[in-house]
Chain A
């Protein structure tokens, strides 16, 4: 019989404690972000899809060595290069395509790049009804960004 009253008392008390928790939450400020009206601050190490890095002159740092293409486990990257026009040594990138539909943002490409020529972008507003919208020509993106 004493167990009955003890249970009754502790049960009622725990209900009251629960009500206290929720009423405090009720009068606390709202924590959700109103997304389309407010946008989050993207942290430094955010992993968006990759993009090419430009040097001081605005030209891509990429030398088309193809390491990223080889490092990619999903085969998202296609790089093509050509001889430098000024006759110097090495190649410059002439085509860089990222198939973002397959990319899992593992970052192997960024790791493998010896020239710091690719980096993670801070793009997150990615939505489309068409698959083709996620096949990016990164060289063109860089040129558009520079202009």
Chain B
């Protein structure tokens, strides 16, 4: 296929993948919530409630988009897009399988983290622009939370990059080929703390995507819906989809960095499905965590980052660099 044709196919495929995931992760979330609480969850719309996201989408689309009086209309309308777009753009460098990658950029990892921080800006201007007390408090919380959690996350990523010596996602996966003992999460020769690093990355991913138990941005019991309070209809819908798309990105990055991408654990039936299995397992864990733990208090959230995650990831970084120097 010609290069423009290939890119167009990837563009459509990525948008479809992101939108479909965003829609059906809502279903997964609700179904999961149900079963974690020994309920059934959605079951009325279609078999197993599978048409529920479509019904939700139609409902959201038919609702009016109201810009509240006194709100900054431009920022208010821009915010949902600013959450959604970076997530979709980040898919460009995600290698789903051998050769299944829209564009291989040699700084792919850097690009993903650059765009991931733009999503926070989206929530910030959404909260600020809607001229709502809850929105402003939520915006302030989101920023301090993301500053706190970006540090340990990037320290962990730097550790991985020091081991792999590349920002190229494709190359990072290729280094982990040949059985699960080659995956970065089990690469204990490089650093005995690699499983801990994976755990830290996972916790930071939860915090970065504002997932419970770190959903300070939309702590329902305190802030109604935080930055999303004033949004109606598809404005809220796009925020929601952006959030789920960001979770997918986070799970993809975790899969690539730590779980060997599309590498099959025992070396049979290689292909894109291994990537998807690992990714969806991580997403299932995200849902599982959400319906297990209560929301942390805000100062506990910051304490966890500054007192536990940052020192440990820092120690891991130093240990890894020392081991790299020695061996």
Contact = CB atoms under 8 A, between A and B. Distances in A.
25 contacts: A8-B308, A18-B292, A19-B288, A19-B289, A19-B292, A21-B292, A22-B36, A22-B288, A23-B288, A25-B35, A25-B36, A25-B37, A25-B38, A26-B32, A26-B35, A26-B288, A28-B38, A29-B38, A30-B34, A30-B38, A30-B39, A30-B40, A31-B38, A31-B39, A34-B40
Contacts, number: 35
Question: Interface size for chain B: under 10, 10 to 19, 20 to 34, or 35 or more residues?
Answer: 10 to 19
A15 interface: yes
Contacts of A32: 38-40
Contacts of A34: 40, 43
Nearest to A8: B308
Nearest to A15: B293
Contacts of B293: 15, 18
Interface residues of A, number: 15
**Across chains A and B, which 8 residue pairs bring their CB atoms closest together, nearest first?**
A22-B292, A31-B38, A32-B39, A26-B35, A22-B36, A18-B292, A26-B36, A30-B40
Interface of B: 32, 34-40, 43, 288-289, 291-293, 308
A146 B288 CA distance: 55
Nearest to A7: B308
Nearest to A32: B39
A5 to B, nearest CB: 10
A136 to B, nearest CB: 33
Interface in A1-48: 8, 15, 18-19, 21-23, 25-26, 28-32, 34
Nearest to B292: A22
For A25, A29, A34, which residue has the most chain B Cβ atoms within 10 angstroms? A25
B197 to A, nearest CB: 15
Interface in A47-94: none
A31 B34 CA distance: 11
A48 B51 CA distance: 38
Contacts of A22: 36, 288, 291-292
Contacts of B308: 8
Contacts of A19: 288-289, 292
A144 B295 CA distance: 56
A18 B289 CA distance: 9
A28 B32 CA distance: 13
